[in-house]
Copies of this chain bind each other. A is one copy, B any other.
Amino acid sequence: MHDIKAILFDTFGTVVDWRGSLIGDLGAWGAARGLVVDWSGLVDAWRGAYIPSMQRVRRGELPWTNLDELQSRSLAELGPRFGLPASLSAEDRDYIVRGWHRVNPWPDAVPGLARLKRHFIIAPLSNGNVALLVNMAKHAGLPWDMVFATELFRHYKPDPETYLGAVSLLGLAPHEVMMAAAHNFDLQAARALGLRTAFFPRPTEYGPHQTIDFAADSDWDVVAEDIEDLATQLAV
């Protein structure tokens, strides 16, 4: 563990509370406009469309398409079912899609990252695109040293090109880089490539719909309570 030079963080769910943030942000915005939209239902269905839409890119059924664009297409498809008016302006649709840029951190994220930043290179390794992740960091105060959007590699996680791409750009060996995530599948992919792994659960990420990732399902290098606890366990 003394070899670790950099820690890469999954972002959605791991660092930020996308569900609570989006329902709060869009709910308030919609209310101010008198829109009657089932925002919780829309946000959950929207996130539900996230993996399948990336899979289409990963399988080569779609050319490279970044996350903002995938989310925009999913919103167009799902919106009507939850009460989003077809008459909404392009500007309003853009505001909704960019809700993913305005999500808030879990309470331990900013203080935990600040502690880790003193000793390690810290960066997201996220399927969000660069603009999304940079705007999110400004909004949420995330003190990244670098922003690894998988867009840089034109691959989505868990494709190996994403983990190895970040490791290579940092000029490090896989065992010098730790992947931190609240999702076991992400760590499985990282470990298979030689990266170190850290898990902490986010049991309310999906609200009442959470079915997995309540606990570590393997002997990850670190199993922590949250990012502050990860900093403590790494003795920083």
Contacts and interface: CB of A to CB of B under 8 A. Distances in A.
A152 interface: yes
A25 interface: no
Interface in A141-174: 144-147, 149, 151-152, 169-172
Q: Number of contact residues on A: which range applies?
A: 10 to 19
- Please give the count of copies of this chain that the complex contains: 2
B134 A146 contact: yes
Contacts of A172: 131
A217 to B, nearest CB: 32
Contacts of A131: 169-172
Given A130-B169, A131-B169, A121 B146 contact: no
A171 to B, nearest CB: 3
A144 B134 CA distance: 10
Contacts of A149: 169
Contact of A146 (B68, B130, B169, B171): B130
A152 B129 CA distance: 14
A73 interface: no
Contact of A129 (B68, B138, B147, B171): B171
- The interface centre, meaning the residue of A68, A171, A172 with most chain B CB atoms within 10 A of its CB, is A171
Given A131-B169, A131-B170, A131-B171, A146 B147 contact: yes
Nearest to A6: B134
B68 A130 contact: no
27 contacts: A68-B171, A121-B134, A121-B138, A129-B169, A129-B171, A130-B146, A130-B169, A130-B170, A130-B171, A131-B169, A131-B170, A131-B171, A131-B172, A134-B145, A134-B146, A134-B170, A137-B145, A138-B145, A144-B145, A145-B147, A146-B146, A146-B147, A147-B147, A149-B169, A151-B169, A152-B152, A152-B169
